């Protein structure tokens, strides 16, 4: 390494303490290593929780960022699946394959993942370069922009959750709460399961963005009352399937679930609730938590992106250069210098940080 062989990375030093830092430039050192020049990384709700200290999972000193695409810059001698110059999407969640969780179809809870999870315990992709191994990259077809493929990882988490739902019928009253990226991806993915979801979002700017990008077949409303009256035609319509991206609704909507109904909780805000166990059994309810990718969900999501079945690029509201990361976080209500996290006050959805390796045709 020469003294000038450095690159920029956005380091997490502790809650509200982030810094663009010059660090040694990454190279392919192992035989199966691949180094990627990063193009785009989506800002995830996880990042907002980490930065604000409300989701204290990241190791201080780590480079954040895990929803990403880029261009292969270096490969180790044994790599055959990608070559230098390939446009790729990164699966940021390696798993060991041998622990009990991995052997029993729970790779998202791999017992060996500490130290390997990008942007949490392993240096992630808010940086010029990222190092992984060849099995965690997929080549992006020419017709798919890298900014679209950057949504593969969040969609993979959505696919994991949708797999766990067994709706009672295709006419299930289905409501997704929250019109952030995950809410909108859930709404789209649920249509592929044969359901007809509606989205409820009480932040006016978020609702306006959702209304613009969702197809007419997925209406969005400012409140559950409004959704019930204007969409289900019944102010007391029972709820068959609820997806809560906000962490805040389980207790208040529990009694409103129809018999056989399902509540899928995917938010990551800590909140204690009290539920009646008799009601759970008596009404055959399901309360399900879901996070991360499961076996095959990354490839399933990648197929939904590359086939165009879910037009993920519509969710990209902003692309911001890494040097202006504070502005990018502020678009999502995360004011780093002011140390406050509020709801997004702008018409934002998926905000991408651009690290510099933007391919021709995708310049800002």
Our CB check for Zn ion shows the closer of 36 and 258 to be 36
CB of 143 to Zn ion, least distance (A): 25
CB of 162 to Zn ion, least distance (A): 16
Based on the shown chain and the rule CB under 5 A, indicate whether residue 291 belongs to the binding site for Zn ion: no
Q: Which stretch binds Zn ion (CB under 5 A): 43-51, 202-210, 218-226, 231-239?
A: 43-51
Residue with tokens 């539920």: 275
Our CB check for Zn ion shows the closer of 96 and 275 to be 96
CB of 315 to Zn ion, least distance (A): 13
CB of 174 to Zn ion, least distance (A): 23
Label residue 209 exposed, middle or buried (CB < 10 Å: 0-12, 13-18, 19+).
buried
Our CB check for Zn ion shows the closer of 12 and 95 to be 95
CB of 358 to Zn ion, least distance (A): 21
CB of 35 to Zn ion, least distance (A): 22
Q: Which stretch binds Zn ion (CB under 5 A): 9-17, 105-113, 159-167, 259-267?
A: 105-113
3-class secondary structure for 127-184? ECEEEEEHHHEEECCCCCCHHHHCCHHHHHHHHHHHHCCCCCCCCCCEEEECCCHHHH
Based on the shown chain and the rule CB under 5 A, indicate whether residue 44 belongs to the binding site for Zn ion: yes
Nearest to 29 by CA among 94, 85, 76: 76
Among 20, 59, 96, 275, binds Zn ion (CB under 5 A): 96
Our CB check for Zn ion shows the closer of 112 and 345 to be 112
Q: Which stretch binds Zn ion (CB under 5 A): 87-95, 117-125, 315-323, 346-354?
A: 87-95
Q: Which helix (H) or strand (E) holds 281?
A: helix 277-282
Which residues make Cβ contacts (< 8 Å) with residue 109, sequence separation at least 6? Answer: 101, 292
Our CB check for Zn ion shows the closer of 44 and 312 to be 44
Q: Longest C-alpha distance within the chain, in Å?
A: 69
> How many CA atoms are closer than 13 Å to the CA of 58, on its beta-carbon side?
31
Q: Which stretch binds Zn ion (CB under 5 A): 95-103, 171-179, 258-266, 349-357?
A: 95-103
Based on the shown chain and the rule CB under 5 A, indicate whether residue 332 belongs to the binding site for Zn ion: no
Three-class SS of residue 293? coil
Based on the shown chain and the rule CB under 5 A, indicate whether residue 102 belongs to the binding site for Zn ion: yes
Q: How many residues bind Zn ion (CB under 5 A)?
A: 7
Our CB check for Zn ion shows the closer of 99 and 285 to be 99
Query: Closest residue to Zn ion, Cβ-based?
Result: 44
* Residue 221 backbone dihedrals phi, psi, to 5 degrees: -130, 160
User: Two tokens at 240?
Assistant: 């068959």
Based on the shown chain and the rule CB under 5 A, indicate whether residue 249 belongs to the binding site for Zn ion: no
Q: Which stretch binds Zn ion (CB under 5 A): 40-48, 114-122, 194-202, 326-334?
A: 40-48
Our CB check for Zn ion shows the closer of 96 and 213 to be 96
Dihedral of the CA atoms 154, 159, 165, 166 (nearest 10)? Answer: 160
CB of 124 to Zn ion, least distance (A): 10
Q: Which stretch binds Zn ion (CB under 5 A): 55-63, 91-99, 198-206, 345-353?
A: 91-99
Applying the rule CB under 5 A, the residues between 108 and 147 that interact with Zn ion are 110, 112
Based on the shown chain and the rule CB under 5 A, indicate whether residue 99 belongs to the binding site for Zn ion: yes
Based on the shown chain and the rule CB under 5 A, indicate whether residue 50 belongs to the binding site for Zn ion: no
Per DSSP (E only), the strands in the chain are 6-14, 17-24, 33-42, 67-75, 87-90, 129-133, 137-139, 174-177, 198-200, 220-221, 239-244, 257-265, 286-289, 316-321, 334-335, 340-341, 350-354
User: Two tokens at 164?
Assistant: 């766990």
Instruction: Judge whether 40 and 356 are in contact, CB under 8 Å.
Output: no
Residues that bind Zn ion (CB under 5 A): 44, 95-96, 99, 102, 110, 112
């Amino acid at each position: 390494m020469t003294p000038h062989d450095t690159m920029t990375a956005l380091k997490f030093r502790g809650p509200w303490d982030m810094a663009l830092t010059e660090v040694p430039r990454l190279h392919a050192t192992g035989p199966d290593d691949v180094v990627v020049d990063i193009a785009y990384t989506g800002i995830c709700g996880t990042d907002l929780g980490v930065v604000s200290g409300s989701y204290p999972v990241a190791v201080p000193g780590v480079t954040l960022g895990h929803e990403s695409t880029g261009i292969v810059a270096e490969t180790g001698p044994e790599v055959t699946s990608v070559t230098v110059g390939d446009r790729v999407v990164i699966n940021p969640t390696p798993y060991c394959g041998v622990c009990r969780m991995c052997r029993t179809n729970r790779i998202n809870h791999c017992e060996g993942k500490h130290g390997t999870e990008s942007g949490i315990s392993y240096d992630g992709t808010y940086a010029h370069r990222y190092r992984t191994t060849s099995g965690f990259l997929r080549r992006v077809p020419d017709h798919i922009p890298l900014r679209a493929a950057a949504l593969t990882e969040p969609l993979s988490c959505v696919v994991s959750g949708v797999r766990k739902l067994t709706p009672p019928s295709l006419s299930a009253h289905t409501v997704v709460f929250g019109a952030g990226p995950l809410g909108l991806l859930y709404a789209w993915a649920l249509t592929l399961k044969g359901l007809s979801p509606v989205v409820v979002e009480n932040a006016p700017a978020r609702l306006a963005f959702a209304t613009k990008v969702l197809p007419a077949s997925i209406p969005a409303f400012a409140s559950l009352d409004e959704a019930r009256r204007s969409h289900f035609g019944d102010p007391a319509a029972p709820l068959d399937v609820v997806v809560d991206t906000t962490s805040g609704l389980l207790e208040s909507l529990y009694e409103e679930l129809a018999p056989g109904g399902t509540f899928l909780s995917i938010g990551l805000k800590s909140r204690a609730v009290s539920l009646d166990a008799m009601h759970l059994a008596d009404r055959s309810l399901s309360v399900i938590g879901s996070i991360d990718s499961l076996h095959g969900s990354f490839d399933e999501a990648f197929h939904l992106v590359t086939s165009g079945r879910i037009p993920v690029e519509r969710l990209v509201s902003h692309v911001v250069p890494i040097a202006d990361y504070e502005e990018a976080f502020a678009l999502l209500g995360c004011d780093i210098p002011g140390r406050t996290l509020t709801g997004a006050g702008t018409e934002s959805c998926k905000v991408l940080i651009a690290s510099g390796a933007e391919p021709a045709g995708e310049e800002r």
